[in-house]
């Protein structure tokens, strides 16, 4: 089981680097859209995960909490902004703005009641992931209501949203179980295998999007 976990973890860490490099190579195709912030998310994710892996055995939990809590704010905020800008329906935009506001309330609540350096902002993460899933659903609805549905396979945001949707739908229950019901046994090792597999699947969708995309103004 440990060998499988190591292989999967090394695989997704390599994928982080590959997808980030491809995102820079393909950047001219989406530099004039809100998707131009994707490389920032990919880079911050890559650095955060590498630091998390490096610090895991250091015992410095305060630093790990600080890094990941800051990462949650950057990661979700940028994706909320991207979907808000890329969706044309004004009502959907307002819904995303409200969702973003709710997310920030959870983040501020965790700062006050949890402590930025003391523990993981699990409630913020769950709120952010749930709202992001909502944003993705709005994006799918907007696609069905527009001509974009005819060329969706060449749309970068479509592939990114599929990857995000599958990951968060699969990982949210795991996050909840790991946070409040954790026990060091084989069941939780299995959850880790599923988690790592979901990350790999998500990044394969990202990679597909960057390779298949066509310029979008």
pLDDT band at 154 (very low <50, low <70, confident <90, very high): confident
Lowest mean pLDDT among 131-140, 148-157, 177-186: 177-186
- Please state, in angstroms and rounded to a whole number, the distance separating the CA atoms of residues 194 and 146: 35
Condensed to tens digits (0 to 9), the pLDDT of residues 167-197 reads 999 999 999 888 777 666 667 778 889 999 9
Q: What is the pLDDT of residue 22?
A: 97
Is the pLDDT at 217 greater than 60, yes or no? no
Instruction: Write the DSSP symbol of residue 149.
Output: G
Q: What are phi and psi of 82, to 5 degrees?
A: -60, -50
Condensed to tens digits (0 to 9), the pLDDT of residues 68-108 reads 999 999 999 999 999 999 998 999 999 999 999 999 999 99
Is the pLDDT at 159 greater than 70, yes or no? yes
The CA–CA distances, whole Å, from 200 to 6, 95, 164 equal 13, 30, 11
Contact 213, 26 (CB under 8 A): yes
Is the pLDDT at 1 greater than 80, yes or no? no
Residue with tokens 């599923």: 194
CA 208 to chain centre: 16
- Please state, in angstroms and rounded to a whole number, the distance separating the CA atoms of residues 100 and 116: 19
Q: What is the pLDDT of residue 182?
A: 67
Q: What is the pLDDT of residue 59?
A: 67
Q: Tokens representing 16?
A: 């982080």
Q: What is the pLDDT of residue 185?
A: 62
In order, the DSSP letters of 32-66 are TSGGGGHHHHHHHHHHHHHHHHHHTTT--HHHHHH
Q: Which of 31, 15, 33 is nearest to 163 (CA)?
A: 15
Predicted model pTM: 0.93
Condensed to tens digits (0 to 9), the pLDDT of residues 7-64 reads 888 899 999 999 999 999 999 999 999 999 999 999 999 999 988 888 877 767 788 8
Q: What is the pLDDT of residue 6?
A: 85
pLDDT band at 216 (very low <50, low <70, confident <90, very high): low
Q: Where do the domains of the chain lie?
A: 2-212
């Amino acid at each position: 089981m440990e060998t499988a976990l190591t292989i999967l973890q090394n695989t997704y860490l390599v994928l982080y680097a590959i997808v980030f490099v491809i995102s820079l190579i393909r950047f001219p195709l989406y530099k004039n859209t809100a998707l131009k912030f994707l490389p920032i998310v990919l880079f911050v994710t890559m650095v955060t995960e590498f630091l998390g892996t490096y610090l895991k055995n250091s015992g410095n939990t305060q630093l790990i909490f600080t890094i990941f809590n800051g990462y949650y704010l950057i990661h979700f905020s940028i994706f909320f902004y991207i979907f808000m800008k890329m969706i044309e329906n004004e009502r959907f935009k307002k819904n995303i703005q409200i969702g973003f506001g709710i997310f920030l309330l959870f983040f501020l609540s965790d700062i006050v009641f949890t402590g930025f350096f003391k523990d993981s902002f699990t409630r913020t993460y769950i709120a952010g992931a749930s709202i992001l899933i909502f944003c993705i659903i709005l994006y799918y609805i907007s696609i069905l209501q527009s001509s974009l549905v005819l060329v969706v396979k060449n749309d970068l945001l479509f592939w990114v949203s599929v990857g995000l949707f599958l990951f968060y739908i699969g990982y949210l229950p795991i996050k909840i179980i790991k946070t409040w019901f954790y026990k060091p046994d084989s069941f939780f090792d299995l959850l880790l295998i599923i988690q790592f597999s979901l990350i790999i699947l998500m990044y394969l969708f990202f990679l597909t999007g960057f390779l298949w995309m066509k310029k979008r103004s």
